[in-house]
Structure 1
């Protein structure tokens, strides 16, 4: 049975650190504190920042879900602006933004997005090594 941690934050930049804290705690509770945790945290920071920055729905909340299922860790960030889909950009060396999804693409094994009836979700999937999966079995399982 997979372990899941889900929470919501208001769509405000000042709440991005709160999302990182929730994710860091969930990963630590599952025993994931190594390079994988760093990759997940950095990816989450990018995806949550994109959600709070680009969602055009007023007074929205961003939903973050982490799921650990065997050797697979799935990060999902959902917001109610279902028609504004993510896209990678070619950012010049002097541009300050536009590299977040490329970074997620480098850190995660795979990433993508899906549209739901009232939301869009951007996800990133990470694979634990065999030894990591055995060592990081959630205590609740």
Structure 2
């Protein structure tokens, strides 16, 4: 008689204050969480960078002192999904041409380049979830 092996499914959530220090907290949280699940390396670095971009967008453009940001992280056999929720339902701006000396305007395109898949789910009255998938293996 052989034992059945069940792959592990990991899930984790974090509520963040609507404050610029939440970006650093979110990066550290994602790195630590993935490390505790046995992942490290370039793909973890990519997801930490994506986390930074999405949480920054939520804090700077969506919340503007009006709420919290929620981070949802789930992983199943190396397939990882990150969601960042904020209270507004308007979509992130994509394809904006960055200006030469301007700091912003590249984040969503960077996310699109690094992620396996990317999208936004909106519901009036309950905000939006910007999500990405990345393969950690």
Q: TM-score, normalised by structure 2?
A: 0.86
Structure 2 gap ranges (5+): 1-7
Asked if residue 86 in structure 1 is aligned to residue 115 in structure 2, the reply is no
Alignment length (residue pairs): 128
Structure 1 gap ranges (5+): 133-141
Q: Which has the larger radius of gyration?
A: 2
The match for 1:24 is 31
The match for 2:15 is 8
2:60 and 2:26 map into 1 onto residues whose CA distance is 14
2:57 and 2:64 map into 1 onto residues whose CA distance is 13
How far does the alpha carbon of each residue in 1:44-83 deviate from its partner, in whole angstroms, 9 at most, with x for none?
Answer: 000000000011464411000111022310010000112x
1:25-40 correspondence to structure 2 within 5 Å = 25-40=32-47
Give 3-state SS (helix, strand or coil) of 2:99's partner: coil
2:108 maps to which of 87, 98, 101 = 101
1:38 and 1:62 map into 2 onto residues whose CA distance is 21
